[in-house]
A and B are shown apart, each in its own frame.
Chain A
Amino acid sequence: MKRLLNQRPGRVPRALLGMLPFVLLLLIYMAASDARLAENPDDKLLPSFSSIGAAIDRMAFEPSKRSGDYLLWTDTGASLKRLALGVGISAVVALVFGVLLGIIPYINAGMSPFVSAISMIPPMAILPMLFIVFGLGELSKVVLIVIGITPFIIRDLQQRVHELPAEQIIKAQTLGGSTWQLIIRVVLPQVLPRLIDAVRLSLGAAWLFLIAAEAIAATDGLGYRIFLVRRYLAMDVILPYVIWITLLAFLTDLSLRSLSRLAFPWFQNKTADST
């Protein structure tokens, strides 16, 4: 008998084991829900699958009685737009500053302490200021995401630029490269796949800030909806919304990973080598 740490599951056992916790959670939920509903048919805490199904049907496939919108889809559209704007702006700003901080000593000397200090501010603490300054509209939500994740991405990218071997930078100079050429031909192309990685890591935080901002002041959005229906203990709406948000996050991550694989084939080889 081999040691436990040397025993590896094959493909089928691996897939089955991977599904096991999900199935278990589902079974536990069903049992608990049945038990509670048997005691009190009006219980709202653990709704049955049929009432969850009805809620999904109501939110996604029937127009709202009040506004005529299909709420799940308008909420999703509003949230994804804010998220995409926030993350997109952050990525562009962070790419510019991360590369400049990483490669130009004078900019590093001038900006690095500032970026470090900014990244220490808890973004939620300045949310009231954002509402005061930018109003309750879209802008303050996007700005919260930007302020929340940009310093992290900048510092990550700056670190990645520092990690480029000094030999490479010298070599590029012996090939006649100027500072600008070095940035666009040597540094930037090698940092882009790292940017995708950094964005993937910061997406969780971006969702957090988005939902927090929507919970406090919004008229649509996924975060707005779950905080709104909380007043009616509408677990039958909250649960599918949370699962939907999780699925969206998973799909975003998956597409970023595929993008990195397709756009930067050299990077995959490299990471495969180093592991």
Chain B
Amino acid sequence: MSKIEFINVWKEYGPVVVLENLSLSVDTGEFCTVVGASGCGKTTFLRMLLGEERPSRGQIQLDGEQLRDEPGPDRGVVFQRYSVFPHLTVVQNVMLGLELQAAPLSGRLFGAARSRARELAREMLDSVGLSHALDRYPSELSGGMQQRLALAQALIMKPRILLLDEPFGALDPGIRTDMHKLVLQLWQQTGLTVFMITHDLHEAFYLGSRLLVFDKPRIDPQALQAYGATITYDLPLANTDKDTMEGIRQHVEEDVPRALEAAAN
């Protein structure tokens, strides 16, 4: 249904190669967690999925058709920050997507249609545990509540793919654990395809059904940007053993930064 394919995708900015020869096929309902050292193309990968960037070479296909190169309602997103609209209350934030779809000219709903949209939004907010804060503004919410709101706002569009860009990076550990539960629960209920970028390997192993590790397989110490990153590990996560995880952790958190640092010096 929502099969995503990367076919020999390259991303270059002038002489700088960010991603090289990336091929990947992801089926509906997979929960891909994406990890990698900074500067290894995770964000570029996500931006290409969003349609903010287009590949320099190769193709990204969604169900066999080339992905549109601008953001659209088939792909929902939650960023680390600024995902919600400060001038709208919680329930208005969630209603916005419904209103934009139904009213091309005014972008607003009135009367019975508005009540229906509000009811849908209220149900959505209920499922992320925000039904007590319907009429508050985002600035009155904690960081965790804002991310819950961002999730509800994205999910009400029933996107085929949900993209999460370090969504819990700015949250306290306890709240993070709650958010993990929530995301898993929503993923199981909706069955949509999720890509989540994270810096936290434990989070990546705990949440994902598939782990993608971005890394530079080759580093030229004379020209750091000559080679790009690609996916170096692509693991189904149900049966990962501890040693593999420790190996990856050591590689991502220690070896790669050290190599980059050594090369930079």
Interface residues of A (CB under 8 A from B): 165, 167-168, 170-178, 180-181, 184-186, 189-190, 264-267, 269-270, 273
Contacts and interface: CB of A to CB of B under 8 A. Distances in A.
Contacts of B232: none
A174 B72 contact: yes
Interface stretch (B96-104, B194-202, B215-223, B257-265): B96-104
Interface string B138-182: 111000000000100110010100000000000000000000000
Contact of B71 (A173, A184, A189, A269): A173
Contact of B81 (A165, A177, A185, A266): A165
Given A167-B83, A171-B83, A270-B86, A181 B107 contact: yes
Given A270-B139, A273-B139, A176 B72 contact: yes
B87 A184 contact: no
Interface string B1-26: 00000000000000000000000000
A143 B108 CA distance: 36
26 contacts: A165-B81, A167-B79, A168-B83, A168-B85, A170-B50, A170-B71, A171-B77, A171-B150, A171-B154, A172-B100, A174-B50, A174-B72, A174-B73, A175-B73, A175-B101, A176-B72, A176-B97, A176-B100, A176-B157, A181-B100, A181-B104, A184-B107, A185-B96, A190-B87, A266-B87, A267-B87
Given A167-B82, A174-B157, A175-B153, A189 B75 contact: no
Nearest to B47: A170
A166 B195 CA distance: 20
Contacts of A269: 137, 139-140
Interface in B50-72: 50, 52, 70-72
A267 B101 CA distance: 26
Contacts of B86: 190, 266, 270
B97 A175 contact: yes
Nearest to A267: B87
Contacts of A189: 87
Contacts of B73: 174-176
B76 interface: yes
B contacts with A: majority SS: loop
Contacts of B138: 266
Nearest to A177: B100
A178 B104 contact: yes
B85 A186 contact: yes
Interface of B: 50, 52, 70-73, 75-77, 79, 81-88, 96-97, 99-101, 104-108, 137-140, 150, 153-154, 157, 159
Given A174-B157, A189-B87, 18 more contacts: A170-B52, A170-B71, A171-B82, A171-B154, A172-B100, A173-B72, A174-B50, A174-B76, A175-B153, A176-B100, A176-B101, A177-B100, A181-B104, A184-B106, A185-B100, A264-B87, A266-B86, A266-B138
A168 B82 contact: yes
A165 B80 CA distance: 12
**Which residue of A165, A185, A186 has the most chain B CB atoms within 10 A of its CB atom?**
A185
B77 A170 contact: yes
A88 to B, nearest CB: 23
Contacts of A267: 87
Nearest to B52: A170
Nearest to B140: A269
B59 to A, nearest CB: 21
Nearest to B99: A185
B107 A185 contact: yes
Nearest to B74: A174
A105 to B, nearest CB: 13
Contacts of A180: 104-105, 107
B93 to A, nearest CB: 10
Given A176-B72, A176-B97, A186-B85, A171 B140 contact: no
B96 A175 contact: yes
A165 B100 CA distance: 20
Contacts of B140: 269
B92 to A, nearest CB: 10
Nearest to B94: A175
Contacts of B70: 173
A186 B82 CA distance: 13
Contacts of A167: 79, 81-83
A20 B106 CA distance: 54
Q: Name the residue in B86, B87, B97, B138 with the highest tally of chain A Cβ atoms < 10 Å from its Cβ.
A: B87
A190 B71 CA distance: 21
Contacts of B83: 167-168, 171
A194 B150 CA distance: 25
Complex A-B, nearest 7 residue pairs according to Cβ-Cβ distance, in ascending order: A165-B82, A175-B97, A173-B71, A176-B73, A167-B82, A269-B139, A181-B107
A253 B101 CA distance: 40
